[in-house]
């Protein structure tokens, strides 16, 4: 019974407060009530000059505001940089607002919006959200939609994704209410494109894919889904690209920027789809990259050709055609140097860095990554900046510059959190966890890597999941938890197979699986034929993957050397260990050189190798006991 009484009081209280407030307002004269009504429509806080413009009162307005302040209905909020007032109680503003007749209220909203446009003509972008609100309340739908889209664009530029998402969704609701299915195509495509950008930035690729494919549908384009359709579409785009190369004057327009708005929307959509399919299903990635390049050449978009050529170069590297990939990377740079599009330049520089990284020219790669990061930062392209940063971390980890990796990974995590750009956050966690693991700080690295894995799984980022889980598996091996490491890597293998991942993810996972197999063989003994067969299979797979991605060469050959040693083939072991050292020296991979020397010295009982390897690793900050216990890692 007591509970019921409390609830009854809670229900009655708002009406009672409302009644008290309206009784006080009802005792005001007509002129005060008119001013108060306009102020209530403007909002709980209202600027003096906006109120004066809407009411068209001058000297009398000051007197009336003073009276309302004396009655403690409103109070002065600030005098600088502009005089502003505040309703002392939110309920007072709401009660006055609700007391106005609907048509009268709509007219005031329209007048407020018009006055705001006049008073802040040079700052409309900043107040677009406020204008959208007043025009929507005035049911002036076309103006409301215009400013909703502008507000969404402004929030999108600031990477305020939650706010931008709200504005775009309101725009969709508004447009549907007014025009039904009769949308203006370009406006509808823009909204879907922006929603796709936001969802991709937030790390929700499935939602991004839904909106981006909606854009394509508006322009009669599609991305094939089943294997046969993907192959046919890829073949068609290959033939188009061959024609473009064979008959450039006939097939390719003179390059320029900007292109027509509809073409710009389509190119941006394919560009975002390339990033999305890279995370979800790389079978679609190749055909998407082809579409970016072919359409950019057809439209004559300098920025599009730059991005498309760079992306196509990366796709060729992934497929093992690094020489052809290099040609397209150089073309991307040539076109980029002639355009003022900083975002396109940043992508070209960054992807050329990846090409140099894959083929083993690491000094050049580092320089290109830095150029790409600098240009991306200048253009506000956090996506390219983050991608170039994670690859730079990967390269620095192999050279042993772990403190630099930790510093850069911290910067990525910070930027990702501050801008709500989740990929930067999770990639930073992976890079930092890897550096901590290699430095021997196992108890610090595991929570970091598990947090990154959780974010990767939640956002379907399978490309980054592989390297992250490979490092986590290595840390588990160092603690003797072989079964857990195997389970994690098997899950990664399934994801790689299901989503056709071809990137350096494969190298990381296959190398980690080979490491588990070698560790298992050493524990069970060389006589265990099943363990020997599994170790041979895994080591060969890791080596085949490293033939495409040079970063895996030193570690895969070191593992093959250890396998040969365990099988009683010392000459074979020496062959692979020597190959590992040569590959590491060619790449500048000091960390890998140190590990191979320690492993060879430990097996052959060579004090010289052990001393040289330990000296290299100690110079990188790696603890001696870590090296002694886990030389393969």
User: What CATH number should be reported for the domain holding residue 67?
Assistant: 1.10.10.10
Confidence band, pLDDT 50/70/90 cuts, at residue 500: low
DSSP state of 74: E
Mean confidence (pLDDT) of the chain? 83
Higher pLDDT, 502 or 482: 482
Specify whether the CB–CB gap between 51 and 86 falls below 8 A.
Answer: no
Q: Residue 199: its pLDDT value, please?
A: 76
Q: What is the mean pLDDT of residues 21-34?
A: 73
Question: Considering the domain boundaries, does residue 28 fall inside one?
Answer: yes
**Which pair of structure tokens corresponds to residue 369?**
């990554």
Question: Considering the domain boundaries, does residue 32 fall inside one?
Answer: yes
pTM value > 0.75 = no
Of 18-22, 199-203, 459-463, least confident by mean pLDDT is: 18-22
Question: Considering the domain boundaries, does residue 600 fall inside one?
Answer: yes
Q: What is the mean pLDDT of residues 211-223?
A: 90
Mark 473-487 as b/e (b = at least 16 C-beta within 10 Å): bbbbbbeeeeeebbe
Contacts of 464 (CB under 8 A, 6+ apart): 390, 423, 426, 427, 430, 452, 456, 505
Q: Residue 14: its pLDDT value, please?
A: 45
Question: Considering the domain boundaries, does residue 568 fall inside one?
Answer: yes
| Pairwise CA distance, residues 342 & 340, whole Å | 6
Greatest mean pLDDT among 140-149, 281-290, 370-379 lies in 370-379
| Pairwise CA distance, residues 411 & 400, whole Å | 19
DSSP state of 77: E
Question: Considering the domain boundaries, does residue 409 fall inside one?
Answer: no
Q: What is the mean pLDDT of residues 609-623?
A: 88
Q: Residue 7: its pLDDT value, please?
A: 34
Higher pLDDT, 592 or 125: 592
pLDDT digits (tens, 9 = 90+) for 513-545: 999 899 888 888 878 889 899 999 999 989 988
Count of structural domains within the chain: 2
Greatest mean pLDDT among 190-204, 413-427, 578-592 lies in 578-592
Rg of the chain over Cα atoms, rounded to whole angstroms, equals: 31
Query: What's the order of all strands across the beta sheet hosting 84-87?
Result: 45-47, 84-87, 74-78
Q: Residue 585: its pLDDT value, please?
A: 92
Of 127-136, 256-265, 386-395, least confident by mean pLDDT is: 127-136
Question: Considering the domain boundaries, does residue 349 fall inside one?
Answer: no
Domain endpoint, select from 39, 69, 100:
100
Specify whether the CB–CB gap between 583 and 547 falls below 8 A.
Answer: no
Domain endpoint, select from 62, 78, 100:
100
Burial class (CB in 10 A: 0-12, 13-18, 19+), 617: buried
Confidence band, pLDDT 50/70/90 cuts, at residue 6: very low
Q: Residue 389: its pLDDT value, please?
A: 95
| pLDDT for 629 beyond 80 | no
pLDDT digits (tens, 9 = 90+) for 304-337: 888 888 888 887 877 778 888 899 999 999 998 8
pLDDT digits (tens, 9 = 90+) for 59-80: 688 888 888 888 888 888 887 8
Confidence band, pLDDT 50/70/90 cuts, at residue 472: very high
Q: What is the mean pLDDT of residues 156-185?
A: 63
| pLDDT for 174 beyond 50 | yes
Percent of the chain with pLDDT over 90: 26
Q: Residue 320: its pLDDT value, please?
A: 74
| pLDDT for 8 beyond 60 | no
Higher pLDDT, 159 or 240: 240
Question: Considering the domain boundaries, does residue 397 fall inside one?
Answer: no
Confidence band, pLDDT 50/70/90 cuts, at residue 97: confident
| Pairwise CA distance, residues 368 & 345, whole Å | 11
Domain endpoint, select from 100, 133, 163:
100
Higher pLDDT, 406 or 44: 406
Of 195-209, 557-571, 593-607, least confident by mean pLDDT is: 195-209
3-state secondary structure of 623: coil
pLDDT digits (tens, 9 = 90+) for 108-130: 999 999 998 888 888 887 777 78
Q: What is the mean pLDDT of residues 377-390?
A: 89
Question: Considering the domain boundaries, does residue 68 fall inside one?
Answer: yes
Segments forming the whole domain that contains residue 570:
543-629
Q: Residue 205: its pLDDT value, please?
A: 75
């Amino acid at each position: 019974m007591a509970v019921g009484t409390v609830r009854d009081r809670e229900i009655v209280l708002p009406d009672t407060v409302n009644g008290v407030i309206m009784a006080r307002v009802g005792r005001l004269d007509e002129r005060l009530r008119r001013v108060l009504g306009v102020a209530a429509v403007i909002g709980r806080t209202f600027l003096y000059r906006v109120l004066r413009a809407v009411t068209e009162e001058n000297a009398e307005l000051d007197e009336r505001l003073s009276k309302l302040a004396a009655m403690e209905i409103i109070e002065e909020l600030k005098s600088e940089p502009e005089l502003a007032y505040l309703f002392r109680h939110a309920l007072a503003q709401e009660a006055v607002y609700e007391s106005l007749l609907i048509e009268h209220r709509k007219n005031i909203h329209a007048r407020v919006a018009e006055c705001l446009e006049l008073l802040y003509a040079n700052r409309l972008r900043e107040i677009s959200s406020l204008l959208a609100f007043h025009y929507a309340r005035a049911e002036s739908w076309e103006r409301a939609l215009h400013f909703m889209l502008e507000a969404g664009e402004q929030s999108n530029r600031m990477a305020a994704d939650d706010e931008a998402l709200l504005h775009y969704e309101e725009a969709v609701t508004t447009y549907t209410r007014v025009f039904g299915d009769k949308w203006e195509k370009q406006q509808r495509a823009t909204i879907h494109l922006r929603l796709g950008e936001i969802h991709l930035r937030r790390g929700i690729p499935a939602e991004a894919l839904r909106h981006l494919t909606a854009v394509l549908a508006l322009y009669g384009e599609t991305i094939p889904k089943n294997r046969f359709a993907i192959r046919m579409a890829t073949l068609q785009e290959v033939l188009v690209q061959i024609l473009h190369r064979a008959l450039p004057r006939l097939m390719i327009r003179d390059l320029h920027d900007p292109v027509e708005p509809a073409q710009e929307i389509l190119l941006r959509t394919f560009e975002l789809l390339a990033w999305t399919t890279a995370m979800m299903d790389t079978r679609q990635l190749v055909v998407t990259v082809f579409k970016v390049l072919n359409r950019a050449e057809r439209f004559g978009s300098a920025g599009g050709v730059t991005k498309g050529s760079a992306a196509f170069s990366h796709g060729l590297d992934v497929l093992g055609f690094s020489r052809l990939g290099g040609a397209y990377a150089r073309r991307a740079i040539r076109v980029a140097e002639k355009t003022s599009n900083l975002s396109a330049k940043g992508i070209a520089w960054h992807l050329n860095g990846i090409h140099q990284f894959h083929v083993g020219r690491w000094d050049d790669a580092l320089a290109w990554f830095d150029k790409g990061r600098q240009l991306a930062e200048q253009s506000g392209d956090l996506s390219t900046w983050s991608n170039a940063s994670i690859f730079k971390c990967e390269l620095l980890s192999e050279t042993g510059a772990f403190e630099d990796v930790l510093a850069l990974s911290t910067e990525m995590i910070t930027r990702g959190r501050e801008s709500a750009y989740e990929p930067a956050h999770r990639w930073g966690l992976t890079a930092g966890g890897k550096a901590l693991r290699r430095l021997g700080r196992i108890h610090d690295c595991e929570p970091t890597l598990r947090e990154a894995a959780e974010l990767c799984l939640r956002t379907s980022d399978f490309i980054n999941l592989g390297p992250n889980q490979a490092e986590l598996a290595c840390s588990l091996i160092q603690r003797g938890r072989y079964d857990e490491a195997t389970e994690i890597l098997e899950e990664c293998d399934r994801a790689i197979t299901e989503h056709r991942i071809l990137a350096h993810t494969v190298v990381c996972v296959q190398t980690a699986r080979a490491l588990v197999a070698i560790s298992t063989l050493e524990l069970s003994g060389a006589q265990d034929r099943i363990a020997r067969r599994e170790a041979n299979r895994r080591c060969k797979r890791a080596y085949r993957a490293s033939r495409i991605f040079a970063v895996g060469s030193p570690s895969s050959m070191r593992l093959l050397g250890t396998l040969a040693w365990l099988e009683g083939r010392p000459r074979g072991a020496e062959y692979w260990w020597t190959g590992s050292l040569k590959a590491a020296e060619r790449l500048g991979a000091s960390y890998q050189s140190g590990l191979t020397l320690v492993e060879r010295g430990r097996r052959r009982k060579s004090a010289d190798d052990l001393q040289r390897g330990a000296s290299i690793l100690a110079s990188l900050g790696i603890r001696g006991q870590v090296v002694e216990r886990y030389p393969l890692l």
